[in-house]
Structure 1
Amino acid sequence: MLNLSVVLEDSARRYPDRTALVCAGRRLSYRQVDEWSNAIANLLASRGVTPGARVALSCPNIPEFVAMYHGILKAGAVVVPLNIMLKPQEIAYHLNDSGAEVYLCFEGDEALPTGDYGRAGFADAHGCREMFTFAGILSAGTGSADGDPGAAWAPLEGMPRTFATSVRSPEDTAVILYTSGTTGRPKGAELTHANMTLNALTANRLFDSNAIRHDTYLLTLPLFHSFGQTVMMNAGLATGATLVLLPRFEARAALDLMLAEEISVFAGVPTMYWSLLGALDETVDVARIADNLRVAISGGAALPEEILSDFADRFGIPVLEGYGLSESSPLALFVDPQRGPRPGSIGVPVWGIEARLVDADWDDVPEGGVGELAIRGHNVMKGYLNRLDATAEVLRDGWFRTGDLARRDEDGYYFIVDRAKDLIVRGGYNVYPREIEELLLTHPAVSLAAVIGTPDERHGEEIAAFVILEPGAQIGADALSEWCKERLAAYKYPRSIEFVTTLPMTATGKILKRELTAARQAVAS
């Protein structure tokens, strides 16, 4: 029997007084966080949440995320983490599709009114019966660091700080992470307690992390995303590490925390490394940061070689790159720390994982050839929630087709050469063109639309849309972009919209996005 909450509970038993979380100067011990999550589990149980029920969570990188995530698990429920940038109609879709019974939502502020968006989405989620909003302990004035961090939240009043954690099977779903291909709407990848627990332990094995070393992590990767959730939060909790939470990434703030908290483990997407290097000046004690920094991890997109070498020159350690997906919990392949980085490579399979390159019929491609990367092991999801056909397309005999084309060199290192699908990765976030295209088609002025990713120095890729207007319709590109912005998360809407009269198509009517990309690149050059 296994419950993912063991990563917190075991450290709370072994190191109750060790600092677990640091946020905006506030420090919480493992005992406090564990008791807080117990109170949340009691709250959920009192509201009729039973093992296997789904509970959605919208929350930035603040202590509430850690406590509520593990409180949901302790109650035996399934965590459905939502991107905090989702707009109301997107929230409603996720609540309805996941079948969430309860929704926990951070109140937010004027800059990001998460609570307002959440309430509007909840109103259209007919199966979600209850919603709780919270302001966060840092704004709630909860008193001393020795006190109860949940005391100021009214729903927890009178809730016991002990809870008998629900016993779950390793194959029971622990977390549903939403992802998507380039067709259809986002799908919920069901990740089991075994998937998530073993992936966190694999991260610790990979980076030589242990309780005796007592690392200090800087958590600025979104915890609603699999990378930050598994590789940083759960892996760090499992070794009794101290997790320093930065709700919104700002390069100078991150550098200041690296100094003040003596950060030893940092993970980010390439744009974060680009920003950190750009923020360095004579006032930053790079030598002190480098003395403490033991591991630097990058994922989400390929790290440019120039940034990789510049970081190694300034901080004295290499950036370790890897590959994973929400469907793989996410760690799948990673550069072997003992063999060092290989520019352009996503590395080799991590412990317990197999990889191969296959053709359309699932047969292995000849040595040296390019094929679709497939993986098998303890990290692979059990399937997409309520989507048997979509699951059957990507899973066979335990093998998962990633949708990415790759090659393998003579040393067993894998290199992504192209995407088999049209996925756009903007600043480390997955953006799915079909979702944007479908939204554009709901505008009365739009007849047809195609969305592609274009190279961008800062974000890796930027989103561009090609639009054919309805006869006689008139709307400006900026106005249409703003219309999308009001309906999509901030990282999704197209920054560039070009009005065209035709789109390149095959004889069967399929839009040739490669031709759009090539034409755009020719203009840029």
Structure 2
Amino acid sequence: MTTNLGMISCEAGAPDKPAFIGSWPDGTERVMTYAALNRMADAFARGLVAHGVARGERIGILSANRPDYVAAILGAMRAGVVPVPINFKFPPATIAYIVADSAVRVLVCDEPRRASAPATDAVVLTFEGEGDGTFASWLDEGPFDAVDPAADDPALILYTSGSTGRPKGVLLSHASHLWVAHVRVPEYRLNDERVLIAAPLYHMNALALSFLVCASGSTAILLPQFQAAHYIEAITRYRCTWLTAVPPMIAMMLREKEALAAADLSSVHSIRMGSAPVNEALAQTTAALLPNAHVINAYGTTEGGPIGFGAHPDGRPTPSGSVGYPHPEVEVRLVGENAPERGTLQLRSPGQMLGYLNRPDVASPVTADGFYDTGDVFRRDGDGFYYFVGRVDDMFVSGGENIYPSEVEHVIEEAPGVAQACVVPVNDDIKGTKPVAFVIRKAGSDVTEDEIKAFVLANAPAYQHPRRVWFVDRLPLTTTNKIDRNALMARATEAMAEPEGAGSS
């Protein structure tokens, strides 16, 4: 079995089977078989060596999703060169910081992102074209013997979103993500599936799934980025069977009435949901949209790895809202004054990071006994199932009471007529802070602000009820398709100056 993560595409796929099918909104398509993927990965590894890029040095990738993006990552890792996928939605100054912080030697861009490439001493290549200065010009056809990495050799550097400061480069080993893929292969059984990937490859969700596709010998439809109408069309066109999504993606799909009217989504039998709990309201919405799909409520982090929970060993069904039972190869514990029933999640697994790049100023989140502290609060029920409560960073205090936004959101989303909610704090002269909410109504609903307040007061502690409710058509998203709470807090602060009821239409 290989020890180099870049060789993962050599393990299972038949040479003539499509590994990745790139599909663009204009109808353009690129099919890359396993044979073509491995030829390109070898050719790029040879090209890096020929151009003097040494083992341990870094290449950056600033591009939307495309099949040769995956080949570039695999090829770099085969050569012992460390790929750094970069969030192209970051502002130019942040992109420049990442390129400098990781000491990128070569920066590979797609043409739309070429203008975002910072002034740098790195060689800049474009995926498009054939001449000098292109990715193709660095492909040296022929076989390549992949390096055998040491245990502490990084395979990848993924930068966190930086919502609480400068993005941190997370160092991930070859062994960690080979373990992730090999654990998931028998659990997910994707070998005959058509997987749809629209999340960005600079994010753990899509990248780990791409490695799993390779290890499974399955086929992935790779969209450049998520666009709801294109996503719906791709499910129909390619008869996709297995999806990953975050709750805002479901909400955006529901708005595409014309695309949904022309679509056949019956092929989808599994959808893996992440970034937010799958509560009953979201489960019902997803079931209405994808009636044949089983919903997998997933939890993972870049630093701690994408595997933490799974099925109950006794075969008990996972309750709605739970991320599952601790995975048998992962050690899990809750710490804090209410542990072990409730507390901050710490886990230890072969999938966790090596550490942060160039950040001696950041305290390590890994404990002395090797557990990664996630900063996420969970509760555990009597059957051993775990439920996400909220981020420690998101928790705020109102009148001496700790409030976790996700707990309040869960209650609001159980109210009749509510599709989705986001709760944020605003300043209050008496309480210090108090909760307010932004709510998306279900289609045809006319639920009011007063009705939502009354529902929360009847179903949760009084201090949790939102003091104001504003109805919106959509919630702002971060670059990784998570709800942008900072943007909503700023919006709420401005809206508090308006008369009550002004935002309730």
What TM-score bracket applies, with the shorter chain setting the length? 0.7 to 0.9
CA distance in structure 1 between the partners assigned to 2:38 and 2:241 by the alignment: 24
Shift of 1:373: 0.5
Asked if 1:64 corresponds to 2:45, the answer is no
Asked if 1:75 corresponds to 2:75, the answer is no
Shift of 1:99: 2.3
Shift of 1:341: 4.0
Q: Which runs of 5+ in 1 are unaligned?
A: 109-113, 143-149, 426-432, 434-450, 460-484, 502-515
Shift of 1:207: 2.0
What TM-score, normalized to structure 1? 0.71
- Residue equivalent to 1:470: none
- Opposite residue 20 of structure 2, the aligned amino acid is L
SS at match of 1:235: helix
Label 1:520 to 1:263 Cα distance change in 2 as closer, same or farther (>3 A).
farther
Asked if 1:275 corresponds to 2:247, the answer is no
Label 1:193 to 1:153 Cα distance change in 2 as closer, same or farther (>3 A).
same
CA distance in structure 1 between the partners assigned to 2:368 and 2:377 by the alignment: 18
Query: How do residues 221-370 of structure 1 correspond to structure 2 at under 5 angstroms?
Result: 221-230=199-208, 232-279=209-256, 283-286=261-264, 289-290=265-266, 292-313=267-288, 314-334=290-310, 339-359=316-336, 365-368=338-341, 370=342
Q: RMSD value over aligned CA atoms?
A: 3.7
1:202/1:351 contact within 8 Å kept: no
Label 1:393 to 1:31 Cα distance change in 2 as closer, same or farther (>3 A).
closer
Label 1:206 to 1:10 Cα distance change in 2 as closer, same or farther (>3 A).
closer
Per-residue CA distance 1:50-92 (angstroms, 9 max, x = gap): 2211211112111121111111111111111111212221111
Per-residue CA distance 1:217-257 (angstroms, 9 max, x = gap): 11111111001110x21101111111111112222322222
SS at match of 1:259: helix
- Opposite residue 77 of structure 1, the aligned amino acid is V
CA distance in structure 2 between the partners assigned to 1:165 and 1:172 by the alignment: 14
2:62/2:85 contact within 8 Å kept: yes
Shift of 1:26: 2.5
Asked if 1:91 corresponds to 2:95, the answer is yes
Label 1:251 to 1:457 Cα distance change in 2 as closer, same or farther (>3 A).
farther
- Opposite residue 252 of structure 2, the aligned amino acid is S
CA distance in structure 2 between the partners assigned to 1:92 and 1:152 by the alignment: 20
What TM-score, normalized to structure 2? 0.74
Q: Of the candidates 155, 158, 177, which is equivalent to residue 196 of structure 1?
A: 177
1:334/1:350 contact within 8 Å kept: yes
- Residue equivalent to 1:164: 145
- Residue equivalent to 2:410: none
- Opposite residue 228 of structure 1, the aligned amino acid is A
Shift of 1:452: 12
Q: Which runs of 5+ in 2 are unaligned?
A: 24-28, 396-404, 407-423, 425-432, 442-475
- Opposite residue 95 of structure 2, the aligned amino acid is I
- Residue equivalent to 2:382: 410
1:321/1:341 contact within 8 Å kept: no
1:81/1:224 contact within 8 Å kept: yes
Per-residue CA distance 1:322-377 (angstroms, 9 max, x = gap): 11111123232346696444222222223411111013xxxx85443x21110001
Label 1:500 to 1:374 Cα distance change in 2 as closer, same or farther (>3 A).
closer
- Residue equivalent to 2:372: 400
Label 1:15 to 1:300 Cα distance change in 2 as closer, same or farther (>3 A).
same
SS at match of 2:74: helix
Aligned residues: 422
Shift of 1:263: 1.0
- Opposite residue 238 of structure 2, the aligned amino acid is E
Per-residue CA distance 1:98-145 (angstroms, 9 max, x = gap): 22222212221xxxxx11111xx2x1x5xx53222233xxxx5x9xxx
CA distance in structure 2 between the partners assigned to 1:101 and 1:453 by the alignment: 47
Shift of 1:3: 0.6
Per-residue CA distance 1:253-297 (angstroms, 9 max, x = gap): 2222212212111101111122334436673454xx32x323210
- Opposite residue 51 of structure 1, the aligned amino acid is R
Shift of 1:383: 1.1
- Residue equivalent to 1:19: 18
SS at match of 1:65: helix
1:182/1:422 contact within 8 Å kept: no
Label 1:490 to 1:9 Cα distance change in 2 as closer, same or farther (>3 A).
closer
SS at match of 1:390: coil
1:406/1:416 contact within 8 Å kept: yes
1:328/1:379 contact within 8 Å kept: yes
